[in-house]
Amino acid sequence: MNSYSKTILNSLSPDIFKIISDSADELGLESFIVGGFVRDLILNRSIKKDIDIMCIGSGIDLAKAVQKKINSKIKINIFKRYGLL
Per-residue pLDDT reduced to its tens digit, 14-57? 688 889 999 999 999 999 989 988 888 888 888 677 788 899 99
C-alpha span between 85 and 75 (Å, rounded): 11
Select from 19, 82, 17, 28 the least CA-distant residue to 55: 28
Contact 32, 51 (CB under 8 A): no
- Residue 9 pLDDT greater than 60, yes or no: no
Task: Give the per-residue pLDDT at 12.
Answer: 61
> Do 10 and 26 touch, CB atoms closer than 8 A?
no
